[in-house]
Amino acid sequence: YTGKSGSQLLTENLKKLYVKDYQSLPVVVHENFSVYDAICHMFLEDVGTMFVVDQKSLLVGVVSRKDLLRASIGQQDLTSLPINVIMTRMPNVTVCGGDDLLVHVASKLIDKQIDSLPVVREVEGGFEVFGRITKTNITKAFVSLSKDEM
């Protein structure tokens, strides 16, 4: 018997959960996409957030449901309004890496009141997006922890 409390054991297990084991594929759009095309793409891909990249495939921003709704309220022509005008842009995008702990990502999501983070790797001139981690991924990890006990 180790003498560890239930919460110590839970903490130990939480510290074994890494982003790379729970991430899913990112949905990425080019910064010149129109708001109209971004809305269609979001529906087709069935995601809540898309990551925006430039010509070199480097991360330049994030566009969420609320960003697209906000842009749609006005009288603008959505087919000629590029998403790089309405997105949340770098350096204000919160990112994570595959080797980060899932619990650290969860706490970032709470702090910043957002639903997802791009999983990135640093390359020359910026970040390349290779995954995404959402509240759903974290909920799945939470459930998998409870299954370990059974």
Paired with 116 in beta bridges are 134
For residue 22, which of 137, 121, 104 has the smallest C-alpha distance?
137
94 binds ligand ADP (CB under 6 A): yes
N-to-C CA span, the chain = 19
- C-beta of 9 vs 110, nearer to ligand ADP: 110
- Residues in binding contact with ligand ADP, number by CB under 6 A: 15
CA distance 1 to 16: 21
Q: Given strand 88-89, what is the order of strands in its sheet?
A: 28-30, 49-53, 59-64, 88-89
- C-beta of 73 vs 150, nearer to ligand ADP: 73
126 binds ligand ADP (CB under 6 A): no
- C-beta of 17 vs 59, nearer to ligand ADP: 59
| CA 67 remoteness from chain centre | 15
Paired with 30 in beta bridges are 53
Binding characters for ligand ADP, 30-69, by CB under 6 A (x = yes)? ------------------xx------------x-xxxx--
- C-beta of 8 vs 92, nearer to ligand ADP: 92
Interacting residue ranges for ligand ADP, rule: CB under 6 A: 48-49, 62, 64-67, 88, 92-94, 114-117
